[in-house]
Homo-oligomer: A and B are copies of this chain.
Amino acid sequence: MGGDFAPRATVAGALLALAELDSSHSIQLVGRSAVVGEQLDALFRDPEHATLVSQRGRIEIVDAPDVIEMTDKPGTAVRGKPKSSMIVGLRLQADGLSDAFVSAGNTGAQMAASMVVLRLHSGLKRPAIATVFPTARRPVVVLDSGANVDCGADELVQFARLGVVYAEDLLGRENPAVGLLSIGEEPEKGNAVVKEAHQLLGASGLNFLGNVEGRDLPAGQCDRGPIDIVVCDGFVGNVVLKFYEAIAPFIIGLLAKSGLDQHKMMSALKQLDYSEHGGAPLLGVNGVSIISHGKSSPRAIKNAIKVAVQAVETRMNEHIGRRLGENGENGENGRGAA
């Protein structure tokens, strides 16, 4: 039920995913069952999806009569709407009846509900949202992109550990390189938290590149090499993410005024379209909870579902548990060796 174009975009995205995933995967559509059922029937009548009618058995509709609105406060929504698709869908996973959860609904509510229903890995205070930024090189994982606005240095280090698992499991990177977002490459540049995090990351045992700057993000690399992960607090991460999403349309608009072919440009900049990259995992919760953009198209939902499948198949959640569990020991070793 969540997202600006729900339930049509969500259900259509689920059908697109089913067509691409092998037959061992099935999808639960959680929401007001009458509305979801009607939408599903309508889509099956559409020639684009008609060939999937035979796959109807891979879809289960799970009733969730409450709807969390985009304007609802997260805490209130989670407590006051226990039969929302958000809570019901996450509960299925906690109860072992599903492997992953995807939503394009209220992000704050998804985060709060995921923390309540799935719980956090031990040692974490809050989950982080990991977003993939297209760059001139390979995509870079930026986290946190908005879940945590006031972060301590130790939280930035945890984001780095979570980002490493993401880069390994979902992007297939080996020994991924971590950059700390700052305003100069020297360790003494940055605000108080970033300067402290620089020291902690240097002693963390991770493949730490040092500080990276705003200009290194579109490049995907800094003077010290290619970047796989950029760590920042959720305030900076969210500002940069929203800025990035808005900049390509702005530049295309400027170029179109000069008579350049808008269609050709949009096709050339396809890799900047967030819907290509699907959803952003909420990292640190004990399970798989994928956040999709509120404006998700069916294609974006399909890609978010594929991210969820990949997270399940690579056992990303267990990997996070191991990585955070190793934390104490490795942290000590790292510090000893530094």
Q: How many residues of A contact B (CB 8 A)?
A: 52
Q: Interface 1/0s, chain A 188-222, versus B by CB < 8 A?
A: 00111010000000000000000001111111000
Given A255-B265, A255-B269, A269-B254, is A183 in contact with B243 using a C-beta cutoff of 8 Å? no
Contact across chains for A269 and B251 when beta carbons are under 8 A apart: yes
Give residues 152-204 of A contacting B (CB, 8 Å).
181-183, 190-192, 194
The answer to whether A25 has its CB under 8 Å from any CB of chain B is: no
In the complex formed, the residue of B with least CB distance to A250 is: B218
Given A246-B219, A250-B136, A257-B268, is A214 in contact with B190 using a C-beta cutoff of 8 Å? no
Q: Interface 1/0s, chain A 211-248, versus B by CB < 8 A?
A: 00111111100000000000011111011111111111
Contact of A239 among B183, B192, B257 (CB under 8 A): B183
The answer to whether A253 has its CB under 8 Å from any CB of chain B is: yes
Contact across chains for A191 and B239 when beta carbons are under 8 A apart: no
The answer to whether A146 has its CB under 8 Å from any CB of chain B is: yes
The complex is assembled from copies of this chain, and their number is 2
Contact across chains for B235 and A191 when beta carbons are under 8 A apart: yes
The answer to whether A258 has its CB under 8 Å from any CB of chain B is: yes
Contact across chains for B243 and A243 when beta carbons are under 8 A apart: yes
Give residues 261-288 of A contacting B (CB, 8 Å).
261, 264-265, 267-269, 271-272
* Min CB–CB distance A158 → chain B (angstroms): 18
Collect the chain B residues with CB atoms within 8 Å of residue A232's CB. 239
Collect the chain B residues with CB atoms within 8 Å of residue A182's CB. 235, 239
Given A218-B246, A260-B264, is A234 in contact with B269 using a C-beta cutoff of 8 Å? no
Collect the chain B residues with CB atoms within 8 Å of residue A245's CB. 214-215
Contact across chains for B253 and A136 when beta carbons are under 8 A apart: yes
Complex Cα–Cα for A239 and B135 (A): 16
In the complex formed, the residue of B with least CB distance to A248 is: B251
Contact across chains for B258 and A242 when beta carbons are under 8 A apart: no
Contact across chains for A246 and B269 when beta carbons are under 8 A apart: no
Collect the chain B residues with CB atoms within 8 Å of residue A249's CB. 218
Complex Cα–Cα for A245 and B219 (A): 12
Collect the chain B residues with CB atoms within 8 Å of residue A257's CB. 268
Collect the chain B residues with CB atoms within 8 Å of residue A95's CB. none
Nearest 6 CB-CB pairings of A with B: A214-B242, A214-B243, A258-B268, A215-B246, A218-B250, A183-B238
Q: Could you write out 11 A-B pairs with CB less than 8 Å apart?
A: A149-B190, A194-B235, A213-B239, A213-B242, A214-B240, A219-B246, A247-B247, A258-B264, A258-B265, A258-B267, A260-B260
